[in-house]
Copies of this chain bind each other. A is one copy, B any other.
């Protein structure tokens, strides 16, 4: 039969117990976003631990994006609504430490974005479709403004963001929405600097706009698979130039 199966007892630190309890209170809904934790001095009484322990627990909770504390606030730490900030942080370190290549990130975006478009083609409302049209129009306006001066880059990027954000929201999947946003910002940070030096930037933008128009037209027509395929091609066209030649093959694998 074998003796009783003993499990190794991991030494559980005091601050971890505090973290667990607060975390559970938040997840169970006992503490809602906007609500306040008791002050540190109050917490040390309730948990019967020292203030150092309380503070270390709060640091962990803060690192996980669950609470925020402000000096001088008489109300104690504030419970935050969930933000993907922690997710963003861990993915960013993943990208840096684990040497994620730009190709992998762009590939990931192609996968998620085309999935979002496939879903949005079915689920989108007329209003959301209008948002997408507006975003494309804003991209065109940014292009025209950029032809004269050199200011259009920011607003073009903002319009592009608005487009993909509208699509992601229309997909009805919050996880896709958040992940696309996170990965998008990481990609942009990686190619920042190189993006404005692009010699053919105007042509790139024009092509991107045309691609977006094709995508949204296919979505209006309800042809999700086509829209998804077009969106993968659009993203490939836009980012392939930044990806080393020998890694582009993996990207093209998604173009069918």
Contacts and interface: CB of A to CB of B under 8 A. Distances in A.
Given A26-B97, A56-B55, A105 B175 contact: yes
Interface in A76-113: 82, 84, 86-87, 89-91, 93-94, 96-98, 100, 104-105, 107-108, 111-112
Interface of A: 11, 15, 23, 26-27, 52, 55-56, 59-60, 62-66, 71, 82, 84, 86-87, 89-91, 93-94, 96-98, 100, 104-105, 107-108, 111-112, 115, 118-119, 122-123, 172-176, 178-179, 183, 224-225, 250, 253-254, 256
A253 B174 contact: no
A178 to B, nearest CB: 7
Contacts of A254: 115, 118-119
Contact of A90 (B27, B56, B90, B97): B90
A178 B89 CA distance: 15
